[in-house]
């Protein structure tokens, strides 16, 4: 079979991801909808290959929502997070700050962060029923404003669904108040918020790190919050911030020489290792799980395993690359009417996503 990568199709024929224009986690209403959303189920499989198919075909849209799979690190992280949340619920030995770290981008840190929140709120609603006056989880993104210190109070107010701006006499938007901390704190206390998820802490400028940690340390004490911080280097960032807040640890004296920096529990989500004697199952399991989700007429549940070496070379073991590659290839297979994840279809999908699938993978298909 030819190993040449086919030229990408025209823009009009390229399948698009079924995505909301608004991030589903950016407001409490969107977050609650995500918590209560049923997982996507594959539509009925046609008996024969349809003569025509378009971008709105239910199976095309289904494959656009395949999502990531739970890797070994994510499963371990979810288990550890549940234990830490249970421990903090007892308030005997609280660990209010937890880092989610990795060795590179695209490993699934945000997936783990959101799954922790979804699982926590989901269990509460199963036990006690749905009550929209309760906001157990606060989900925030690091404010990316380089011109001023990060306004975390505004980020909290945005998640809570408040309108931050009013219109002045000349019709221009003006902030309703300079600091939303007081009202947000009152809202979270009355809503029994216990878990805060913060994504992208590595985007924060160095000068904002200590004020940010002090701010959330205050919230943790006031609300009995457990805070999960996600980002590359988050464990080192938190460890240094906690040490800087203890003057005794900054002094070099005989009395304090035995003190160590404060510990930060860390959930590691690294890229998947290639198949080897030491790691025989991790990559294979991820590929097999995605392969089983594919819903094509001529696709066998474990068909992708025959290409697992090539897929690792193309994706570098990153779920950020593997999941979109399989999802795009499945959409193309439906639109092409091939209904199978062949090497040509996989290379075509890789070309769309700008992933390497050229001559260096030729011998692996």
pLDDT in tens, 143-178: 876 666 778 999 999 999 998 888 888 888 888 888
**Range with the lowest mean pLDDT among 68-77, 140-149, 267-276, 280-289?**
140-149
DSSP assignment of 127-164, as one string?
HH---TT---EEEEE----TTS---HHHHHHHHTT---
Q: Tens digit of pLDDT for each residue in 307-357?
A: 999 999 999 999 889 999 999 999 999 999 999 999 999 999 999 999 987
Q: Tens digit of pLDDT for each residue in 275-286?
A: 888 888 899 999
Q: Which residues are paired to 230 by β-bridges? A: 100, 199
Range 92-111 average pLDDT: 85
Residue 261's pLDDT is: 65
Give the Cα separation of 103 and 92 in Å (integer). 32
Using DSSP's 3-state secondary structure scheme, residue 29 falls into helix
Residue 21's pLDDT is: 41
Range 360-364 average pLDDT: 65
Q: Are 225 and 193 in contact (CB under 8 A)?
A: yes
pLDDT at residue 294 above 80? yes
Residue 51's pLDDT is: 87
Edge to edge, the sheet with strand 137-141 lists 137-141, 195-199, 226-230, 97-101, 266-268
Torsion 196-202-204-209 (CA) sign = positive
pLDDT at residue 250 above 60? no
Task: State the helix-helix crossing angle for 206-223 and 181-190, rounded to 10 degrees.
Answer: 40
Q: Are 144 and 155 in contact (CB under 8 A)?
A: no
Closest to 162 measured CA to CA, from 182, 147, 146, 148: 182
- Portion of the chain with pLDDT greater than 90, in percent: 57
pLDDT at residue 253 above 60? no
CB atoms within 10 A of CB 167: 9
pLDDT at residue 18 above 50? no
pLDDT at residue 106 above 50? yes
Residue 168's pLDDT is: 82
Where residue 17 falls among pLDDT bands split at 50, 70, 90? very low
pLDDT at residue 359 above 70? no
pLDDT at residue 187 above 50? yes
Q: Given phi > 0 = left and psi -120 to 50 = alpha, else beta, which region is 317?
A: left
Q: Are 266 and 109 in contact (CB under 8 A)?
A: no
139-143's contacts with Cβ under 8 Å and 24+ in sequence apart are 139/25, 139/26, 139/31, 139/114, 139/196, 139/197, 139/199, 140/196, 140/197, 140/198, 140/199, 141/23, 141/26, 141/198, 141/199, 141/200, 142/198, 142/199, 142/200, 142/201, 142/203, 142/204, 142/231
Residue 245's pLDDT is: 64
pLDDT at residue 207 above 50? yes
Helix ranges (H only) for the chain are: 28-35, 58-63, 72-90, 109-128, 152-159, 181-190, 206-223, 234-244, 247-250, 282-293, 308-315, 319-336, 343-352
Residue 65's pLDDT is: 87
Write out the two tokens for 304.
């992708």
Secondary structure percentages of the chain, helix, strand, coil, to 5: 45, 10, 45
pLDDT at residue 9 above 50? no
Write out the two tokens for 294.
């594919």
Mean of the per-residue pLDDT values of the chain: 85
Where residue 7 falls among pLDDT bands split at 50, 70, 90? very low
């Amino acid at each position: 079979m030819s190993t040449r990568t086919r030229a990408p199709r025209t823009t009009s024929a390229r399948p698009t991801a079924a995505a909301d224009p608004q991030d589903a986690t950016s407001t409490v209403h969107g977050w609650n909808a995500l918590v209560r959303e049923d997982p996507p189920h594959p539509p009925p499989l046609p008996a024969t290959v349809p003569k025509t198919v378009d971008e709105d075909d239910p199976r095309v849209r289904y494959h656009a929502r395949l999502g990531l799979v739970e890797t070994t690190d994510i499963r371990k992280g979810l288990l550890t997070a549940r234990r830490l949340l249970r421990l903090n619920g007892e308030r005997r030995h609280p660990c209010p700050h937890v880092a989610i770290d990795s060795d590179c981008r695209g490993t699934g840190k945000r997936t783990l962060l959101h799954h922790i929140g979804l699982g926590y709120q989901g269990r509460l609603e199963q036990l006690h029923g749905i009550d929209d006056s309760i906001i157990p989880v606060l989900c925030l993104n690091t404010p990316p404003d380089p011109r001023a210190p990060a306004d975390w109070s505004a980020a909290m107010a945005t998640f809570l669904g408040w309108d931050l701006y009013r219109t002045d006499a000349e019709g221009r938007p003006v902030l309703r108040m300079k600091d939303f901390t007081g009202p947000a704190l009152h809202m979270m206390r009355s809503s029994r918020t216990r878990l805060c998820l913060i994504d992208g802490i590595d985007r924060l400028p160095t000068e904002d790190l200590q004020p940010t940690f002090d701010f959330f340390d205050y919230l943790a004490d006031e609300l009995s919050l457990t805070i999960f911080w996600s980002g590359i280097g988050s464990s080192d960032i938190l460890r240094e911030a906690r040490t800087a807040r203890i003057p005794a640890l900054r002094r070099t004296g005989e009395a304090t020489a035995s003190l160590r920096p404060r510990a930060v529990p860390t959930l590691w989500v690294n890229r998947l290792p290639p198949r080897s004697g030491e790691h025989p199952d991790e990559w294979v399991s991820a590929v097999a799980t995605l392969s089983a989700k594919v819903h094509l007429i001529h696709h066998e549940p474990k068909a992708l395993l025959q290409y697992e070496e090539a897929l690792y070379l193309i994706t570098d073991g990153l779920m950020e690359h593997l999941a979109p590659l399989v999802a795009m290839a499945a959409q193309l297979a439906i639109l092409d009417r091939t209904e199978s994840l062949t090497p040509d279809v996989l290379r075509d999908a890789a070309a769309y996503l700008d992933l390497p699938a050229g001559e260096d993978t030729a011998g692996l298909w």
